[in-house]
Amino acid sequence: MKWSESAWEAAGPVFGKILSHPFVLGLASGELDRARFMHYIRQDALYLKEYSRVMSALAARFDDPVCTRLFLGYATENLESEESLHRLYIEDGCGPASEEASPACLLCSSHLWRQALATSLEVALASVLPCFIVYARTGRYIFGKAVLEGNPYWDWIEVYGSDGFDGPSDNLMDLCDSYAAKASPSVREEMTSAFVTGVKLEWLFWDSAYNMETWKI
C-alpha cells in the first residue's frame, strides 16, 4: 500500500465529518448563510497568503530543481484561481478582506510554518498535502450533489469541483509517496500523523467559519 493510501485511510473518519459538516452541506444546497460564507472567504484569503509563503520556503529545501520549480508554482500560479475567486466575492459589495486572522486561521498557518521549518522534509510535505487533497475531494463531493440552479456559491463549487484542481493534488501526493518510499517506518508514521492533523485542521477551519469565530478578548 502506498503511503498516501494508508494516510488517507487513517484520516477517513475526519474526512467523513468534513463531508457531513453543515458548512459543506450548505455550500452544496446553496442555503449556507451568506455571512458565514464571507467570514470563510476573508479568512481563507489571509490563510492563502501564508500558505503561499510556506510553499516558497519549502521550495528552497529541495536539492532537485524540478521540485523547487514545482513548489514555486504552487506558491504562485496554482493559487491564482483561488485568489481570483476570493476577489470575486470580496469585491462583490461585501467589503474588504478582514485584517485579523481568526484563532483557527492563525493556528492553521502557524502549524504549517512549524512543519515547514522545524521538521524533516518528508513530514513537511505530508503537512501541506491536506490543503490540496481535502479541497479536491470535498470539491468533487459537493459538485456531485450540488443544487445548481440559483446556487450563490456555484463559482466556488466550480473551481474546487473541477478536474483541473485534481492535477496539483495528485502531483503533490505522488511526491509524498516518493519520499515516503525511501523513509524509515518511524518517519512514515510521523508523516501520517502530520497528515491526519492537517485534515483535522481543515475541518476546524470550516467549523470556525460556520460559527463565525472571532477572538474573545
Q: Is 54 left (phi over 0), alpha (psi -120 to 50) or beta?
A: alpha
Q: pLDDT digit string (tens) for 8-25?
A: 999 999 999 999 999 999
**28: three-class secondary structure by DSSP:** helix
Split at pLDDT 50, 70, 90, the class of 62 is very high
Q: pLDDT digit string (tens) for 105-157?
A: 999 999 999 999 999 999 999 999 999 999 999 999 999 999 888 999 998 89
State how far the Cα of 115 lies from the Cα of 96, in Å rounded to an integer.
Answer: 30
Q: Spelled out in words, what is the top-level CATH class assigned to the domain 3-95+102-210?
A: mainly alpha
Cβ neighbours of residue 162 closer than 8 Å, sequence gap 6 or more: 139, 143
